[in-house]
Amino acid sequence: MLSFQQRSGKDSVSSSPSRTDKHLREPLFRQTDQTDDDLERGNGLPVRAETKNTWVAVLPRVLGYVWPDSTRLQLRLIAALLLLAAIRVLNVVVPVVYAKSINQLSEISTQITSEGGEPVSFVKALLPWPALWLSTYIIQGGAGQGLLSMLISFLWYPVQQRSYGRVSARAFAHLMELDLQFHVQRKTGEVVRKVNRGSSAVQTVASVVIFTVGPQALDIVSAAVVIWAKLSGWISAVVFVTTAVYIPLTVVMTDMRMKARRELNEKDNEKSARLTDALLNYETVKYFTNEERECDGFRGATEEYLSADFAWAKTNMAINTVQRCILSSGLVCGTLLCVRGVAAGEMSVGDVVLFVAMLNQLAQPLNSFGNSYRTIQRAFVDMENIFEILEREPLVKDEPGAPDIEVTGGAIRVEGVSFGYAPGRDVLRGVNLDIAAGSTVALVGETGSGKSTLLRLLLRFFDPRAGTISIDGTDISKVTQRSLRRAIGVVPQDCVLFNGPIALNIAYGGPAGASVADIERATREAQIHDHIMERFPQGYDTVVGERGVRLSGGEKQRIAVARTLMKDPRILILDEATAALDTITERAIQAELRRVSSTRTTVVVAHRLSTVLDADKIVVFHAGEVVEEGSHPELVRAGGRYAAMWSKQLESEAEPPPRAQRVRRGGAAPVASAQSLAGGSDSADN
């Protein structure tokens, strides 16, 4: 019984990173015409230059993500801002009322203790100032944890969550739109880390700027004004000097910490990337018994990270020490002036209390300002990474208003196509090729001859430097990429599966809402339905593991074939689609693929020539050029490069492989006869 549920588009976007990372990194074709140096350097392709974002550029973008897209959340944000303004007023009122309360109680105490004084009632002592102070203090909450602050947090939290979701979803969608060059150049773990940290940083900056830095600035200004209006000019001068020294020093020293934070982020990225690569390549590590090497490498990356973290912590401790010294100096100087004022009869006890209360009121935002500024600067570094990704333009873009392509027959024409991953290093040179609708064409040639590059151009992972590629007479550069790729199905040699049920992996190739019957039809065509039901107790609900590690190579390949059949494409690309299968299964799949491809235009990339003997046309690539084309018998009789390749392959297959190699292959392909060499048969079975 099948009990899976088709995953919706929304669920797909929010899937776990473990399922998404490797899918982003996996090349479409296993063989490639690019060198590692080409991919690392970018090879002259238009990659966006590194830039540093400025406050002026970043803040509007951050606030744009903060303003909600729903009326309900907009009302919550407005209510939170109004309550925030109310707290600012209370922060000024509470210390002033508190000072008046002290003066009132001092006067009552003096009257009672003086000769002939009479006690007063509790109500008279409480009203008006002590009662007013108590009521305002309860609402304000003193340390910012009062009723209004809690209401603000309650109102703001859903808005904050939505902003995080919008940023992360935007980054994910943009990653899906970026070109193959971007994903091949970068480590998956590093990209995931940048997106996660950057999304959190946008959320952090929004919260700190709106609900911390802005209110803190108002608190500082209001405290300075109250001290200047209520107390002496000298005390106001102390407050002014303290603030004037504190803020610039905090800014300067925090800017100095930026370099340490960037270094810490780089080391963190390297450590995470090292861990991710080792886990994703677990089998390779085991093959070569390099566990110790990987552990040493990760240990070294961790030590570098810890060293950078300690350097960052030292700068943090230095800033905290300087800030406390400045505030303590201001408190000492102000207190001495207050004592002098009381001694001279110029200030009351309430004035002293007001000074201490307002200085505390001032110290809180100043201390928080340092923390807030450091938080923003730290988040600013993280945002640089995600904005660098969001600002990256895809190398291949649809023209404005480009229509969807309508593939009817599937005829492909390649005219004068040249392309290179680096200037002056063309991988394809003036390639001309015609593939008739409904025909099967095989591309053969040595590794690096241009076969995979041509298929990448056909799928518009890149655009050619010169020439055009058209399908049914329509230039593919003039249509949308999505419609083009919907019309083309690919079965790669190294297929990648999601960490989910078999049914989900097969349904992934079809439209949303694919039925159980559709999935079973595809698996029967791929000759894997009976195998799934017999081998796996959970049948189609069996979870395949990360990248399909719980399945054999042949099982993964047949699921990939079924997934492509779910798509029902007009054009089919087979990239050594049966190379990982045993002989019996390969023959069955090849027969089924021949039946399926009989009504589709099929392009086959092959290294084993015996698998493409019945192709309508075989195209031979060499050094980026088409050097021969024709049927198998025609090419063998011509005695050119293809005939040499065929002869060499026959000789290789005629030599019995070592026993271990025979076991690993799961059965050798049948050796072709001398008659085949002479072109006497077109059959793949001969």
Q: What is the pLDDT of residues 639-686, one digit of tens each?
A: 999 999 999 888 876 665 554 444 444 443 333 333 333 333 333 333
Quick one: pLDDT band at residue 443, thresholds 50, 70, 90? very high
Residue-level pLDDT at 186: 74
User: How many angstroms separate the CA atoms of 620 and 449, rounded?
Assistant: 9
Residue identified by tokens 């200085």 is 359
Based on the fold, state whether residues 650 and 674 are members of the same structural domain: yes
Residue type, 92: V
Residue 245 and residue 409 in contact, taking contact as beta carbons nearer than 8 Å: no
- Residues contacting residue 237 through CB under 8 Å, at least 6 positions apart: none
Residue 145: predicted pLDDT: 53
Q: How confident is the model at residue 474 (pLDDT cuts 50, 70, 90)?
A: very high
Nearest to 248 by CA among 319, 311, 334, 328: 319
Q: Looking at the domain assignment, is residue 31 inside a domain?
A: no
> H-helix or E-strand containing 108?
helix 71-113
Q: Which residues of 574-603 are buried (b: 16+ CB within 10 A; e: fewer)?
A: bbbbbbbbeeebbbbbbebbeebbeebbbb
Cβ 451 vs Cβ 404: under 8 Å: no
Q: Domain range holding 296?
A: 70-391
Q: Residue 4: its pLDDT value, please?
A: 42
Output the pLDDT for position 53: 52
Number of structural domains (the chain) is: 3
181 within domain boundaries: yes
Highest-scoring range by mean pLDDT, 40-44, 253-257, 411-415, 487-491:
411-415
Give the mean pLDDT of 454-476: 92
Total Cβ atoms within 10 A of residue 284: 12
Q: Could you tell me if 545 and 640 lie in one domain? A: no
Task: Tokens for 564, please give them.
Answer: 């492509």
Q: How many CB atoms lie within 10 A of CB 366?
A: 23
Examine the domain organization and report whether 509 and 555 are in the same domain. Answer: yes
Among 57-61, 404-408, 506-510, the minimum mean pLDDT is found in 57-61
Q: Which long-range contacts (CB under 8 A, 24 or more apart) does 322-330 make?
A: 322/249, 322/253, 323/246, 323/249, 323/250, 323/366, 323/367, 323/370, 326/242, 326/245, 326/246, 326/249, 327/242, 327/246, 327/363, 327/366, 327/367, 329/242, 330/238, 330/239, 330/241, 330/242, 330/359
Give residues with Cβ within 8 angstroms of 504, minimum separation 6: 4, 6, 7, 498
Cα 33 to Cα 8, 188, 380, 623, distances in angstroms: 36, 22, 39, 10
Torsion of Cα atoms, 168 then 170 then 174 then 175, to 10°: 10
* Residue that terminates a domain, selected from 346, 362, 391: 391
- Conformational region of residue 399, where left means phi above 0, alpha means psi within -120 to 50, and beta covers everything else: beta
Provide the CATH number for the domain around residue 369: 1.20.1560.10
Confirm if 435 and 446 have CB atoms less than 8 A apart.
no
**Shared-domain flag, residues 415 and 380:** no
Last residue of a domain, one of 361, 391, 421: 391
What pLDDT shows up at residue 2? 45
Q: What secondary structure does DSSP assign to 190-215, as a single string?
A: HHHHHHHHHHHHHHHHHHHIIIIIHH
SS3 string, 598-615, reads: CCCEEEEECCCHHHHCCC
- The pLDDT value recorded for residue 43 is 37
Tell me how crowded residue 542 is: count the other CB atoms within 10 A of its CB: 17
Residue 335 and residue 176: Cα distance in Å, rounded? 62
| 206 shares a domain with 304 | yes
pLDDT higher than 90, residue 415: yes
CATH of the domain at 557: 3.40.50.300
Rounded distance, CA 606 to CA 575, Å?
7
> What's the confidence (pLDDT) of residue 642?
92
Terminal Cα-to-Cα distance of the chain (whole angstroms): 41
Which pLDDT score, from 0 to 100, does residue 377 have? Answer: 75
415 in the same domain as 381: no
- Residue 21 falls within a domain, yes or no? no
Mark whether 447 and 379 lie in a shared domain: no
Cα–Cα dist 682/584, whole Å:
20
Condensed to tens digits (0 to 9), the pLDDT of residues 102-131 reads 888 888 777 777 766 677 778 888 888 888
CB 172 within 8 A of CB 389: no
Do residue 416 and residue 517 come from a single domain? Answer: no
Residue 462's contacts (CB-CB under 8 Å, 6 or more residues apart) are: 179, 180, 181, 395, 396, 419, 453, 456
| Amino acid letter for position 447 | T
For residue 76, give the nearest of 205, 166, 162, 165 by alpha carbon: 162
The stretch 534-559 carries a mean pLDDT of 83
Tell me the C-alpha to C-alpha distance, in Å, between residue 575 and each of 30, 281, 409, 493, 601. 8, 23, 21, 5, 14
Q: Which two tokens stand for residue 467?
A: 């020439």
User: Tell me, what amino acid is at 620?
Assistant: V
Dihedral of CA 494/495/500/502: which sign?
negative
> Are 589 and 506 within 8 A, CB to CB?
no
Cis peptide before 423 (omega within 30 of 0): no
Q: List CB contacts of 137: < 8 A, sequence separation 6 or more.
A: 94, 98
- Same structural domain for residues 498 and 606? no
Query: Percent of the chain beyond pLDDT 90?
Result: 16
* pLDDT tens-place string over residues 583-621: 676 776 677 777 777 778 999 988 888 888 889 999 999
Distance of CA 320 to the CA centre of its chain: 34
Give the predicted TM-score (pTM) of the model: 0.61
Assign 579 a pLDDT band (cuts: 50, 70, 90): low
Residue 416: its pLDDT value, please? 93
Average pLDDT over residues 213-240: 80
Predicted local distance difference test score (pLDDT) of residue 467: 93
Domain membership of residue 47 (yes or no) is no
Residues 361 and 500 in one domain: no
Please say if the pLDDT value at position 44 is more than 60: no
Largest CA-CA distance found in the chain, in angstroms, rounded:
135
What is the DSSP secondary structure assignment for residue 443, as one 8-state letter?
A: E
Per residue in 338-396, pLDDT tens?
Answer: 888 888 888 888 888 888 877 777 777 777 776 787 788 778 878 877 888 888 888 88
Shared-domain flag, residues 307 and 439: no
The tokens for 584 are: 């019996």
219, part of any domain: yes
pLDDT at 554 over 50: yes
Tell me, what's the pLDDT at 428? 93
Neighbours of 173 (CB within 10 A): 10
**Are 311 and 450 found together in one domain?**
no
For residue 182, pLDDT over 90 is answered with no
Work out the mean pLDDT of the chain and round it to a whole number: 78
On whether residue 100 sits in a domain, the answer given is yes
The dihedral through the CA atoms of 631, 636, 641, 644 has a sign that is positive
Predicted confidence at residue 669, as pLDDT, reads: 39
Count the Cβ atoms, other than its own, within 10 Å of residue 401.
6
Higher pLDDT residue, 316 or 479?
Answer: 479
Output the six-digit token pair for 357: 């209360």
Helix, strand, coil shares of the chain, percent, nearest 5, are 65, 10, 30
Q: Domain boundary residue among 368, 391, 414?
A: 391
Closest CA to 172 of 200, 192, 152: 192
Q: Which residues have CB under 8 Å from 46's CB, separation 6+?
A: 393, 395
Q: What band does 21 get if pLDDT is binned at 50, 70 and 90?
A: very low
Q: Is residue 462 part of a domain?
A: yes
Hey, is 37 helix, strand or coil? helix
Instruction: Report the pLDDT averaged over residues 469-483.
Output: 93
Q: Does residue 151 belong to any structural domain of this protein?
A: yes
